[in-house]
């Protein structure tokens, strides 16, 4: 009986495992292999050059700038996005006025859920284009609003100032992703028994105490998964799309918004240096795996059940 069970499990997993190895693992193996070559991506011919691409990468100031910007995104974006999402989800589900020991969200919670989730309906490319127009220094909505309220003297060049461009990118990424996590955390909070909240209310717990003593511990596994997912978004396609569409260059000014995914794209398709691009991709893979491992390790705690 046990032998038949394992045969069934093996047969059931064989096809998806084979597809995963073919379309996920094998491209990673190929990328690592090509990083030791001089392949241009324009010709099938290439030669082995050993660790030459890695030596070049370590001496490349643009690589270090892009790595620095990616690390800023992966440290700041999850903190801000998940913090806002937890606050919004808590207020929508259990942060409203309590009458007769009944736990409920704020008035208009259903509307807020739709409003927060609305950016998820839009493609990230459309979001980046909309905000590119909004932050236009000449006729964009942001500077026009500042001028309308009498602050025309402080109209910055949002995407042309090296000190502001990356901050603008992070603001757009937060706006475009926070709604997803609001819905995710709302679903997690809805699964927490109301009796727990009502007991805390009867004991005189405040919103602050309820959040940190009840909601966050019971929602911790979801928060941890969201942290890893948000970090992968910050290191991947989301940051690439926003920087590629919104910023000068793209990646500027003065490489102030260049991130690792964008640098991989530029090295491969603009400069015709596919091997060097795969080398940067390997570095991006290492950073992503390290981030996920650190979050999972630091976030490990005793599982709470209810």
Closest CA to 273 of 224, 281, 299: 281
Q: Could you read off the pLDDT of 52-74 as tens digits, one per residue?
A: 999 999 999 999 999 999 999 99
Decide: helix, strand or coil at residue 272.
coil
Count other Cβ atoms within 10 Å, centred on residue 147: 13
Q: Is pLDDT of 5 > 80?
A: no
pTM of the model: 0.89
pLDDT score at 302 = 61
**Is residue 40 within 8 Å of residue 274, measured between CB atoms?**
yes
**Is residue 281 within 8 Å of residue 64, measured between CB atoms?**
no
Q: Determine the Cα–Cα distance for residues 65 and 256; give it in Å rounded to an integer.
A: 8
Q: For residue 303, name the pLDDT band (cuts at 50, 70, 90).
A: low
Q: Is pLDDT of 304 > 80?
A: no
Q: Which residue has the tokens 């690589």?
A: 63
Q: Could you read off the pLDDT of 154-209 as tens digits, one per residue?
A: 888 899 999 999 999 999 999 999 999 999 998 888 888 888 887 877 777 788 88
Closest CA to 247 of 122, 127, 132: 132
pLDDT score at 101 = 52
Closest CA to 266 of 7, 16, 65, 8: 65
Q: Determine the Cα–Cα distance for residues 73 and 71; give it in Å rounded to an integer.
A: 5
**All domains of the chain in start order, with CATH:** 60-298 (1.10.3720.10)
Q: Is pLDDT of 94 > 70?
A: yes
Residues 87-99: b if buried by 16+ CB within 10 A, e if exposed: ebbbbbbbbbeee
Q: Average model confidence (pLDDT) for the chain?
A: 88
Of residues 161 and 100, more confidence is placed in: 161
pLDDT score at 154 = 82
pLDDT score at 267 = 94
């Amino acid at each position: 009986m046990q032998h038949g069970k394992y045969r069934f499990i093996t047969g059931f997993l064989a096809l998806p495992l084979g597809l995963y190895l073919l379309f996920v693992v094998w491209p990673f193996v190929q990328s690592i292999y090509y990083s030791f070559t001089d392949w241009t991506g324009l010709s099938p011919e290439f030669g082995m050059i050993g660790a030459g691409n890695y030596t070049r990468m370590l001496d490349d100031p643009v690589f270090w700038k892009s790595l620095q910007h990616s690390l800023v995104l992966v440290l700041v974006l999850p903190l801000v996005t998940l913090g806002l999402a937890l606050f919004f989800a808590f207020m929508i589900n259990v942060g409203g006025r309590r009458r007769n020991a009944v736990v409920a969200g704020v008035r208009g919670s259903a509307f807020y859920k739709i409003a927060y989730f609305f950016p998820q309906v839009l493609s990230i490319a459309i979001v980046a284009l909309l905000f590119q127009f909004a932050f236009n220094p000449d006729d964009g909505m942001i500077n026009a609003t500042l001028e309308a309220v009498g602050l025309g003297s402080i109209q910055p060049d949002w995407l042309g100032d090296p000190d502001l461009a990356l901050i603008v990118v992070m603001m757009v990424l937060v706006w475009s992703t926070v709604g997803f996590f609001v819905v995710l955390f709302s679903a997690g909070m809805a699964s927490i028994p109301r009796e727990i909240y009502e007991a805390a209310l009867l004991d005189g717990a405040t919103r602050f105490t309820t959040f940190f003593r009840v909601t966050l511990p019971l929602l911790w596994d979801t928060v941890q998964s969201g942290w890893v997912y948000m970090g992968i978004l910050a290191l991947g396609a989301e940051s690439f799309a926003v920087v590629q569409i919104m910023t000068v260059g793209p990646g500027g000014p003065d490489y102030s918004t260049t991130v690792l995914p964008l640098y991989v794209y530029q090295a491969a398709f603009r400069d015709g240096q596919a091997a060097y691009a795969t080398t940067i991709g390997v570095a991006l893979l290492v950073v992503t795996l390290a981030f996920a491992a650190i979050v999972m390790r630091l976030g490990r705690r005793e599982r709470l059940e209810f």
